[in-house]
Amino acid sequence: MMCHKLIFACFLLLGSLSAHAAPLVQTVPLRDMEAWLVTDHSLPLVTVKMAWRGGTASDPDGKAGLSMMLARLMNEGAGELPAQSFQQAMADNAMSLSFSAGRDDVTGTLRCLSKYKHACFKLLRLALTAPRFDDEAVARMKREQLTAILQAQQSPRSLANEALMAMAFDGHPYGQARNGTEESLAAISAADIRTHYQAMMARNNLHLAVVGDIDRAALRRLMRDIFAQLPPSSRLPKAQQATMRNGPISRHIERAGPQTSIVFAQKGLGHKHPLFFADFVMNSILGGSGFSSRLTEQVREARGLAYSVYSGTSNFGQAAMWNGSVASDNATAQQAMDVIRVEMGRIANEPVSDARLAAAKTYLTGNYALRFDSSAKIAEQLLGVQLNDWPIDYFTTRNANINAVTIDDVQRAAQLLTPDRLLVVSVGGTAIALD
């Protein structure tokens, strides 16, 4: 199926919310833990999202890929149930339980139907408290992960992104591919995975978001029976401070085909920065709002240089990055990148118009409600706000913060853009010059 435009997942879970569109979020404390809950009985479904701080940035030296292996193995056997029996029990209860490793956290998602929830919760408890890490499953998941490494090498976008992260965070775990390498995978044993599990999956680094056909009392039982069984404290070493490298640096990876895929980045500003919301609005105007963005206007609509072009902020736990991407014909790739840099300069030098700012605000604020129209999405929002260290009133204050941004604020945020000092990676037929 062909689409009119490509949708980019926002790295941040920043949406926007018309004041009353956010559902009522409750906090549910139990001992040293707290879960965020939205109860909604209209469908017979429960979604539980859980995340532990850690993630691939906590992979020990020489063992890149360890957190990804842990994530792959968390539903591959637990308690008395070896991998196949565990998977069968999940299928028997029509549930899904899967884990993934980001750079700063490992996230698990459980979805189950109300009528099977007792069995689902039992399996969740087993998975979290008694994972097996059997040799068979470890070997099989290693093969799967190795394949993922190879597959990433055949996608121009992932090739470019990996090279960009390596360039931006040279020497920091953020610079390593999340799946690791063939060599680092070979160095990972079942014992390493178990040790990593024991160190990471604790209570003081746990975040919980629960949505659907479940009330406070039932959630407290779930927390008591399952999450209270985890050790109190994470034993991972403290996350390493990351410093992003300055450009200009341009790296090219030659690849056959008519098109060059380009990613670019520079330091961004983190969400504790006073201009954070101004930056968010600025990015929306520049490159983050699809057809309303200047990059789409100038690169795609006016010149036909690309199908997709994007820019925005990616926040990691230890660093903030501003980044973007475009893919253009080998003959026009340099021109596309030049237009992008001109637009970066223009938004810094010329104040945006009242109308443009107003449109960005109504887009960002009005759009927020669309992130709360299903229980899966609500759970994602509840977890995302926690992982960004935002307070629970974020859901209701965010739109006011966006509306308070002025034309000057936008320009100040834009002046932090450095079109002459970008990190750039191109994959395809054209190397990108930055002078």
Partner 1 sequence: MPIKRKIAALFLAFALAACEGAPDGPQIETAALDNGLEIIVIPDYRADVVTHMLWYRVGSADEPKGKSGIAHFFEHLMFRGTQNIPSGEFSKTVARLGGQDNAFTSYDYTAYFQRIAKDKLGQMMQMEAERMQKLIIQPDIVAIERDVILEEHSMRVDGRPSSLLAEQMRKRLHQGTAYEVPVIGWRTEIERLNADDAQRFYRRYYAPDNAVLVVAGAVSLSEVRALAQTHYGPLRPSGTPRTPRVVAQDLRVADYMQPEILVDARVRQNSWRRYYRLPQYQRANKRQFAAADVLAEILSGGHTGRLYQKLVVEKKLAVSAGAYSDSSRLDNGEFVVYATPAPQTDFADLAQAIEAEIDALKNLMADDDELRRAKRQLVSDLVYARDSQQSMANIFGRAAMLGLRPDEVLGWADEIENVSAEDVRQAAQELLVARHSVTGHLTGRVNAGENES
Report the site for partner 1 in 24-63 (rule: CB under 8 A).
Answer: 40, 42-45
- Binding status of residue 353 toward partner 1 by CB under 8 A: no
Under rule CB under 8 A, residue 92 binds partner 1: yes
186 contributes a contact to partner 1 by CB under 8 A = no
- Does residue 401 bind partner 1 (CB under 8 A)? no
**How far is it, in rounded angstroms, from Cα 336 to Cα 326?**
8
147-176 residues in contact with partner 1 (CB under 8 A) are 147, 150-151, 153-156
CB of 330 to partner 1, least distance (A): 9
In the bound state with partner 1, the residue whose beta carbon lies nearer, of 87 and 418, is 87
Smallest separation (angstroms) from partner 1 to the CB of 246: 30
Measured N-to-C along each axis, helices 333-349 and 407-414 cross at an angle, to the nearest 10 degrees, of 130
Q: Is 76 in the site for partner 1 (CB under 8 A)?
A: yes
CA dist 322 and 288 (Å) reads 11
Among 121, 133, 264, 363, binds partner 1 (CB under 8 A): 363
Q: Rule CB under 8 A: is residue 78 a binding residue for partner 1?
A: no
Please give the Cα distance from 423 to 434 (Å, whole number).
9
Identify the H or E element spanning 135.
Answer: helix 135-153
Least distance from partner 1 to the Cβ atom of residue 234, Å: 22
| Distance from the Cα of residue 21 to its chain's centroid | 24
Which among 76, 99, 98 has a CA at the least distance from the CA of 88?
76
Q: How far is the CB of 428 from partner 1 (least distance, A)?
A: 8
Rule CB under 8 A: say whether 91 interacts with partner 1.
yes
The DSSP-derived string for 262-316 is: EEEEEE---TTSTTHHHHHHHHIIIIISGGGSHHIIIIIITT---S-EEEEEEE-
Among 158, 374, 401, 418, binds partner 1 (CB under 8 A): 374
Q: Please, which of residues 326-345 interact with partner 1 by CB under 8 A?
A: 327-329
Interaction of residue 354 with partner 1, rule CB under 8 A: no
Nearest to 399 by CA among 426, 360, 372, 365: 365
Q: Pairing between strand 45-53 and 26-30?
A: unpaired
